[in-house]
Copies of this chain bind each other. A is one copy, B any other.
Amino acid sequence: MADGSAVPDNGRMDPEEFRSAGHELVDWIADYRTKVGSLPVRSFVAPGDVLRALPATPPAAAEALSAVVADLDSVIVPAITHTQHPRNFAWFPSNASLSSVLGDLAAAGLGALGLSWQSAPALTELEQAVCSWMRQLAGLSDAWSGTILDGASTASLVALLVARERATGSSSRRGGLQQEASPLTVYCSREAHSSVSKAVLLAGYGVDNLCLVDAPAPGYEMSPAALAAAMAADVRQGRRPAAVVATAGTTGTTAFDPIGDIAEIAGRHGAYLHVDAAMGGAALLLEERRELFDGLEGADSLCWNPHKWMGTVLETSLYYVRDSAELVGVMATDPSYLRSSVDGAVVQYRDWGIPLGRRFRALKVWFQLRLDGPDALRARLRRDLANASRFASLVGAQPDWHVLAPVRLQTVCVRHEPDGLAGTALDDHTLAWCEAVNASGRAHLTPAKLEDRWMVRISVGAEATEWDDLEELWALMRDAATATD
């Protein structure tokens, strides 16, 4: 090529073209990760800007990689929030680790197809191995067996489907949920993630049968007494408690529902217990934080997402169950073209979730654990915990600033409440200073509601975030909150 950039000559890219283009793209990614801290954290594009920058019709002919990379630079990079920016404190830390990027690349390069154990034995057995390793690193007993799903929403749906089938004696294998006489009920904290209520709807329970249990200040954990009362009342009215979802690290404030108490109450009613630790689960890697999960061994299933705070590439959601036969009993299919002589001797992960085929998901965890090592993962989590705690102390000590919830992990929930501001005026002030910080491009925060009032979440723990970044954030926050007074 005249411009030195790789381009397929006859259409489909061959291995030598891939070699050249791959080097070019790896360099581009390394450069992007090096400079990301100098970019505005958040995108300033307006709705439709990206669409308008792209052709309305498909490409007519093959192009060089350099043309695509030029568009990455001019169209794509300015139009994403840079999750990997050191001053990104929005949503949750996510999918950063370059070691896992390599594992994900290996998966795509191998192009293995996970339909059954037989189609790629290593794809299945490496997933078994890394699920076991992660279980050990998390201090879970060997009563759990795991798989990798795409995300916690899917995990909640799978759990509530299994719960539904347990409560109805496998109604799906007969006439379905519509033949059930008495309503099945599901319980979660009112601070639980929206995916729980979505799963309740999708699994057919109906939103009227979802009970959002009180989770009072100051800790915002689910109240066991309120749960027990709600379940007892439902039983008296002829309803059947089918499932409880406990959250270990809520999205809003990283509150931890008391799993042990909840397990005991759920057990009284034979209800299934799922623990959603999508974000918080990473803390299981730290022995000194495991008390937050007390009682976990009494749950039926557990989800936590290494693609969040642990930094594995999306979509990596660990789903552990104590009774894999029950899960398989709900999810199994057995078409003839997938049968093989080893059925029964192996794990068939297609029967552990919704999709049939899967990519080689375990590789990105395997690469990350081996190339970075567990100590580096733990050191990073401890750094973030310490930074969050220090930041909460700093902010909480200032006049008019309030830390609104216990800092259990790496999320600090704050509000600036100058004299006399309350109600919707306070909401307006909160949203205004948060937006001013975000509009600066120098940091990014997410507002959220707590007890129906807006607050601002500072989710510490992008892989690149150090204390200096929090100091810069604090200066931005003070300036913004004062300027909008």
Contacts and interface: CB of A to CB of B under 8 A. Distances in A.
Contact of A84 (B111, B132, B377, B448): B111
Given A48-B125, A111-B94, A197 B76 contact: no
A340 to B, nearest CB: 10
Given A47-B346, A80-B120, A176-B209, A373 B126 contact: no
A171 B71 CA distance: 45
Interface string A45-78: 1111111001011111111010110001001110
Contacts of A208: 174-176
Nearest to A208: B175
A202 to B, nearest CB: 6
A101 B110 CA distance: 10
Nearest to A93: B113
A58 B137 contact: yes
Contacts of A330: 201-202
Given A18-B102, A91-B119, A81 B333 contact: no
Interface string A337-357: 110001001100000001111
Contact of A51 (B90, B128, B197): B128
Nearest to A186: B176
Interface residues of A, number: 171
A180 interface: yes
A115 B91 contact: yes
Contacts of A359: 95, 313-315
A108 B101 contact: yes
A12 B50 contact: no
A91 B357 CA distance: 11
A484 interface: no
A204 B84 CA distance: 41
A172 B206 contact: yes
A211 interface: no
Interface stretch (A20-28, A387-395, A399-407): A20-28
A90 B355 CA distance: 19
A289 interface: no
Contacts of A47: 117, 121, 342, 345-346
A18 B11 contact: no
Nearest to A42: B118
B76 A122 contact: yes
B14 A120 contact: no
Contact of A65 (B45, B102, B175): B102
Which among A105, A118, A357 has the highest number of chain B CB atoms within 10 Å? Answer: A357
Contacts of A117: 47
B34 A15 contact: yes
Contacts of A183: 175-176, 178-179
Interface string A275-290: 0000000000000000
B463 A12 contact: yes
Q: Which 6 A-B pairs have the closest CB atoms?
A: A11-B376, A176-B206, A29-B109, A22-B26, A62-B373, A79-B122
Given A68-B371, A83-B112, 17 more contacts: A8-B373, A33-B109, A47-B117, A47-B346, A49-B125, A50-B126, A77-B110, A91-B115, A91-B119, A94-B113, A151-B356, A171-B204, A173-B206, A198-B354, A251-B335, A314-B357, A337-B449
